[in-house]
Structure 1
Amino acid sequence: MASSTARPSIVPPKDLESFQEHLSKSTRILALLGAGLSASSGLPTFRGAGGLWRTHEATELATPEAFGRDPGLVWQFYSYRRHMALQAKPNPAHYALAELAKKKDGFMTLSQNVDGLSPRAGHPADKLKLLHGSLFDVKCSDFFCKYTESSNYTDPIVPALAIPTDDADPTTTEARKARDLDIADENVDLPEIDLRHLPQCPTCKHGLLRPGVVWFGEMLPTTVMNDIANWMEEDQKIDLIMVIGTSAKVYPAAGYVDLARAQGARVAVINMDKNDMPASGMYKGDWFFQGDAAQIVPEILKSVIGEITEMPDAAATA
């Protein structure tokens, strides 16, 4: 909704003017989102707090092998992540991108985030491709069962996972730091959860449900990748790619910047760190907007979407 209240621009006026002029003429636009966008909502990154969760390496829990060995432990980790994501709220950048998706037919968003904030902001599902899945999707872990469920915002997902999730929990990394305890100490008591009390598949009746995220060692979702490839291979040039909250140095994310540029796209980077630029660097005619994505994205898109006001949160009504 547009507002008549004027306020000073938070980006250089000349850059804002040239970007908005290009945006107004753009018919095919791509956005690539990373963890920096969620950080603007106060959500810690996956490897935050030194990459430790309750003295466990987060990266070692995000594997099929870890789930096979100890599904209770892995579910406790993901229950914690679901809870933290639900405590966070979509920020104005999420809402601005959702509004742009509604106003521009040729707009596609590729997100590396699993936190569910873009869907909760009302981003149209057909214009949002989740490269790494979502914490709020679940699927059966049985190889032969195809059961999936989307947008499950129940917290905790089952009663057995209702464990402490804030700093009152003495096993969290930050709580242990505050008590000057060695965060590498493995002697931390965690609940042992009976498999019968973990999320169960309602279809096959014997498989455990697992988080619908892409774990280390797994392929990115085929349907999502095919949708992206088909969109990018359409016989039309791409006018603009916005790289928001990500360095885009890791593939396939880095490749999308290169592909878009090869199809004529100009690049706009929105990031807190001036050194976080795409692997291919910046070209003449690109833009770098340094600062908080939650402030910058609504500002640079305002000429198309108007002023962003508070909108409903899908998780609040689930």
Structure 2
Amino acid sequence: MSSVARQMAGIPAADLQSFTEHLKSCRRIVALLGAGISASSGLPTFRGAGGLWRSFDATSLATPGAFKSNPGLVWQFYSYRRHMALQADPNKAHYALAELSRRNPDFITLSQNVDGAEHRLSQRAQHPAGQLHLLHGTLFDVKCTSFHCDYIRKDDYTDPLVPALDIPKKGMNFPSSAEKDSESDADAEPELDISNAQVPIPDLTPADLPQCPKCNGLLRPGVVWFGESLPSDTLDFVDNWIDEEPVDLIMVIGTSSKVWPAASYLHTARSAGARVAVINMDANDLAGRNLEPGDWFFQGDAAVIVPEILKSVIGEI
């Protein structure tokens, strides 16, 4: 039995049927995405960085204070993450959500990821840009750190951004989607090559790092770090969209919804009338534990589950 067949065999037929019936009647739909949706594209999660970054607490590198004290270290970490995202291909979950967006203008996608997965991969899957909203920014925007400078450069896919960030990539590669889907290792956890995990990370000065062309200040990744405010225009849009009319369905895909504001959107959408469908590999997922009668929990790989549960509306992907 193939890995896909094994996963689909685990979905109770009654749940799939009831979800399908509800989906066909839905107009206003929200999808809340986390890192789990891109696992099948070979992207490591934020806390799952590999190679020479395995010895670091990723959260300690995602703060304004960390960047102020050691911008070279932080930029090398984010350059690694940019590199990994650029190697990834869209998976069937990206294509399924893009197709649903094209068919339904009242469907919006909210992504918590900053690695560019939804932004870049969904672009390649032809996801309508106006229906995709990034809550935490993206690695592929850069902005100036100078207080009096407003320089922002969007959608910069240069790799590396500057020569000093061309750090060794050996030991940083995850299995490709094709490799993960092969029958021989279908049930295996991704293995990292950590052969150079002890390679010293170069000490870089601000002069080595990306510079602002407007004021010569230091550029930083265009992401929201711990302790920073999320983009108010995005939050306002989402709040207004949910408040406008009743919501029929929220799909929580590959995220435990622990971080604000994602943690509130499930409850806000439910208050606006939405039924909830959680898609996650982890049966103990927090969002899954907060379901109510009439909601759904589909356990498995989002790249397998999402196209299957949406098939009645979007067709075969």
TM over 0.5: yes
Distance 1:249 1:67 in 2: 24
Q: Does 1:131 align with 2:135?
A: yes
Superposition deviation, residue 117 in structure 1: 2.1
Structure 2 gap segments, 5+ residues each: 174-191
Identity of aligned residues (%): 63
Match of 1:79 in 2: 79
Distance 1:95 1:272 in 2: 19
Task: Select the residue among 217, 226, 235 that pairs with 2:236.
Answer: 226
Aligned-residue RMSD, C-alpha: 2.5
Match of 2:262 in 1: 253
- Judged with a 3 Å threshold, the aligned counterparts in structure 2 of structure 1 residues 100 and 260 are, in CA distance, closer, same or farther, namely same
Instruction: Count residues with an aligned counterpart.
Output: 289
- Residue 174 of structure 1 aligns to a residue whose secondary structure is coil
Match of 2:184 in 1: none
Structure 1 gap segments, 5+ residues each: 1-6, 178-182, 309-318
Distance 2:237 2:164 in 1: 37
Letter of the 1:140 counterpart: C
Match of 1:191 in 2: 202
Match of 1:121 in 2: 122
Q: Does 1:174 align with 2:200?
A: no
Superposition deviation, residue 176 in structure 1: 5.4
TM-score (ref. length: structure 1): 0.84
Cα offsets for 1:149-201 (capped at 9, x unmatched): 222111111122111022189xx992256xxxxx7xxxx63223342331111
Cα offsets for 1:259-296 (capped at 9, x unmatched): 11111100001011111142871111111111110001
Match of 1:288 in 2: 297
Q: Does 1:146 align with 2:146?
A: no
- Judged with a 3 Å threshold, the aligned counterparts in structure 2 of structure 1 residues 107 and 159 are, in CA distance, closer, same or farther, namely same
Match of 2:287 in 1: 278
Q: Does 1:39 align with 2:33?
A: no
- Judged with a 3 Å threshold, the aligned counterparts in structure 2 of structure 1 residues 79 and 8 are, in CA distance, closer, same or farther, namely closer
- Judged with a 3 Å threshold, the aligned counterparts in structure 2 of structure 1 residues 259 and 207 are, in CA distance, closer, same or farther, namely same
- Residue 279 of structure 2 aligns to a residue whose secondary structure is strand
Letter of the 2:158 counterpart: T
Letter of the 2:195 counterpart: A
- Residue 175 of structure 1 aligns to a residue whose secondary structure is coil
- Judged with a 3 Å threshold, the aligned counterparts in structure 2 of structure 1 residues 50 and 151 are, in CA distance, closer, same or farther, namely closer
- Residue 306 of structure 2 aligns to a residue whose secondary structure is helix
Distance 2:105 2:60 in 1: 40
Superposition deviation, residue 45 in structure 1: 1.3
- Judged with a 3 Å threshold, the aligned counterparts in structure 2 of structure 1 residues 176 and 114 are, in CA distance, closer, same or farther, namely same
Match of 1:98 in 2: 98
Q: Is the 8 A contact 1:52 1:173 kept in 2?
A: no
Letter of the 2:168 counterpart: P
1:50-69 equivalent positions in 2, closer than 5 A: 53=53, 55-69=55-69
- Residue 282 of structure 2 aligns to a residue whose secondary structure is coil
